[in-house]
Amino acid sequence: SQEVFAPGRFCWMSCALISASGARVPLEDGRAVILGRGPDTGVTDKKCSRHQVQSVYMSCFTPQLGPNPSFLDSEKLTRGQSGKLTHGGTLYLVNQNHPFKLHYSLSSNGTATSATPKGLKAKDKTKGGRNEKEAQSSPTPKRMGCLKNSWQQIGNLMLYTAAGVKGSDKIAGFDIDGCIITTKSGKVFPTAPDDWKILYPEIQPRLASLLKNGYKVVFFTNQMGIAKGKLRPEVFKSKVEDILTTLQLPVQVFVASGPGIYRKPVMGMWNHLCEKANDDVPVDKTKSLYVGDAAGRPENWAPGKKKKDFSCSDRLFALNIGLQFHTPEEFFLGWKSAPYRLPEFDPRKLDSNARLYDPPSASFTSSKTEVIVAVGFPASGKSTFFHTHIIPKGYVYVNRDTLGSWQSCVTACERALKEGRSVAVDNTNPDPESRKRYLDVAKAAGVSCRCFHFSASLDQAKHNNRFREMAPSETKHAKVNDMVFHSYK
């Protein structure tokens, strides 16, 4: 429904698409409705997709989702296009067949000061809906919350704020998949946009209780399928809105649609909430909490729960932020805490005062011409170490990322030694064959060759790799995938 203002009256519109057979599909302002073949429309035509057209607003903004065209009156909509209808206009669901007329109806409900329909608020002409006297006498206006549903896009972050959401110092955060919803089909991954149901009946009343007690309820979800092109953003937006319509609660939803700082367990979504999306209310982490199913639980963590958790990202998200963490079963059903396992590598346990190299008697550089060959995982710290401790001493820097091939690296090494200069070879050099190239060059030049083995583990190197992908830098490293890490191992 939508507010329409008239002097002394409170009016609202209802809107629906009505077929020739009388099938009625109600539309709500700001809530996505997917139309297509199915019982709601009464359409059985196989040329019509089950997700043919999406209506987002009562003015019937309708991105076309199916493979065959739809029409708005005489305007053809191909995939990805959109258009508008006015009152009495016709949506042809597919190929100018299955017409649905857009129908508005206007009702009134007494004066603006009388009782208003549920979910709507009457407004007067002063700022914020208050009269001038009240506005002037109230130094701290009451926080009214978000007035309408809205989506925002910030890089790889999609943010939905439902009407009625208010800032709070107490945040109750939840994952979505496996925590708030599960698949109706029983499959691990949804088979269609509507393949979902609320996970437990206890969820809605528990969330309602949190809101009543002054918490702001926020959903945080990773949706890498959007960045990979496997999930269309507008389809997932519609799903989010349908979930909140089912819950009938004002919730804010953060969606990490790709890699980077917003993807859990990194804290980007939480930081954006605290800094820019909580009505300037400071968050008290001691009063806040987070619930998620990616909790690092092993196989058979509970009777009937044979599968282990696919990851530990939700628990690590809460751990990084400093929030109290619960699994859905613990929070909604009152189950006792389940066993879990954190990743072996814990950056908090690294000793920043540890010795930089072994043996302690060794020297970083030599007064004589030499070749230093690095050995270590990608992202194990080789380049940083060389540029900090070795290259400033006059060593020639040889690196395959910049020179392009090992042959070019060998040639550069030979050239430097002929000039009487020492060389630092910054490659992973994991096998005897790759190291032999530089040993042979050193022997031919009659100089010594030392190996600097960088001892970072696989997990630490992968951690460093993810960190440097996200950290601001003038020089960006090429992304290193798991295959490269494991081939080195």
Average pLDDT over every residue of 267-285? 96
Rounded CA-CA distance 174/289 in Å is 9
Show the domains of the chain with their CATH numbers.
Answer: 2-108 (2.60.200.20), 150-333 (3.40.50.1000), 370-470 (3.40.50.300)
- The amino acid that residue 410 corresponds to is V
Q: What is the pLDDT of residues 379-395, one digit of tens each?
A: 999 999 999 999 999 99
| Cβ 71 vs Cβ 84: under 8 Å | no
- Looking at residue 64, the DSSP 8-state letter turns out to be B
Strand partners, 70: 77
Contact 420, 426 (CB under 8 A): no
Q: Letter for the amino acid at 156? A: N
Query: Any idea what the Cα angle at residue 380 is, between residues 375 and 381, rounded to 5°?
Result: 95
Query: Strands, E, within 47-203: which ranges?
Result: 53-55, 70-72, 75-77, 90-94, 97-108, 150-154, 157-161, 171-174, 181-182, 197-198
Compute the distance between CA of residue 294 and CA of residue 314 in angstroms, rounded to an integer: 5
pLDDT in tens, 322-367: 999 999 999 999 999 999 999 988 988 888 888 888 898 888 899 9
Render pLDDT for 132-162 as a digit per residue (tens, 0 to 9). Answer: 443 344 344 445 566 788 999 999 999 999 9
Contact call for residues 115 and 122 (beta carbons, < 8 A)? no
Query: What are 35-45's pLDDT values in tens digits?
Result: 888 887 888 88
- Would the pTM of this model clear 0.85, i.e. be above it? no
What is the pLDDT at residue 71? Answer: 86
pLDDT of residue 63: 58
481: phi then psi, degrees, rounded to nearest 5: -90, 170
Higher per-residue pLDDT: 264 or 348: 264
What is the pLDDT, as a whole number, of residue 176?
Answer: 97
Residue 294: the pLDDT is 97
pLDDT tier, 401 (very low <50, low <70, confident <90, very high otherwise): confident
> According to the model, what pLDDT value does residue 7 have?
39
Would you place residue 61 in the very low, low, confident or very high pLDDT band (cuts 50, 70, 90)? low
What pLDDT is stored for residue 354 in this prediction?
A: 87
pLDDT value at residue 127: 38
Residue type, 172: A
Helices (H), 82-164: 132-137
| Residue 149: both structure tokens together | 């549903």
pLDDT at 138: 39
**CB within 8 Å of 400: residues ≥ 6 apart:** 406, 408, 409, 427
pLDDT of res. 306: 77
CB 313 within 8 A of CB 290: no
Q: Which residue has the higher pLDDT, 58 or 348?
A: 348
Smallest CA-to-CA distance from 406 within 378, 370, 433 is with 433
Portion of the chain with pLDDT greater than 70, in percent = 83
pLDDT recorded at residue 106? 55
Predicted local confidence at residue 160, as pLDDT:
96
**From the CB of residue 383, how many other CB atoms can be counted at a distance below 10 Å?**
19
Question: Cα(177)–Cα(197) distance, rounded to whole angstroms?
Answer: 10
Q: Tell me what pLDDT residue 60 has.
A: 54
Quick one: pLDDT at residue 51? 78
Contact status, residue 177 vs residue 309, Cβ threshold 8 Å: no
Residue 284 has pLDDT above 90, yes or no: yes
Helix, strand, coil percentages in the chain from 3-state DSSP, rounded to 5 = 25, 25, 50
Q: Look at the alpha carbons of 182, 187, 193, 197 in this order and tell me if their dihedral is positive or negative.
A: negative
**Confidence tier at 64 by pLDDT (50, 70, 90):** low
Please tell me whether the peptide bond between 378 and the residue prior to it is cis, using omega within 30 degrees of 0: no
Highest averaged pLDDT of the listed ranges 69-73, 101-105, 388-392: 388-392
Torsional sign, CA 136, 140, 142, 144:
positive
Predicted pLDDT at 18: 87
| Average pLDDT, integer, range 412-434 | 91
Report the mean per-residue pLDDT for the chain.
Answer: 84
Asked if residues 373 and 425 have their Cβ atoms less than 8 Å apart, the reply is: yes
Percent of the chain with pLDDT over 90: 52
| Spatial distance between the Cα atoms of 313 and 259, rounded to a whole number of angstroms | 13
Contacts for 113 with CB less than 8 Å, ≥ 6 apart: 122
pLDDT in tens, 4-42: 333 344 444 567 888 888 888 887 655 667 788 888 788
Question: How much is the pLDDT for 53?
Answer: 80
Confidence at residue 167, expressed as pLDDT on a 0 to 100 scale: 96
Residue 304 has what pLDDT? Answer: 81
Q: Which residue has the higher pLDDT, 240 or 130?
A: 240
Would you say 447 and 396 are in contact if contact means Cβ atoms under 8 Å apart? Answer: no
Mean pLDDT of 471-488: 79
Predicted confidence (pLDDT) per residue in 158-216, tens digit: 999 999 999 999 999 999 999 999 999 989 889 888 999 999 999 999 999 999 999 99
Per-residue pLDDT tens for 216-255?
999 999 999 999 999 999 999 999 999 999 999 999 999 9
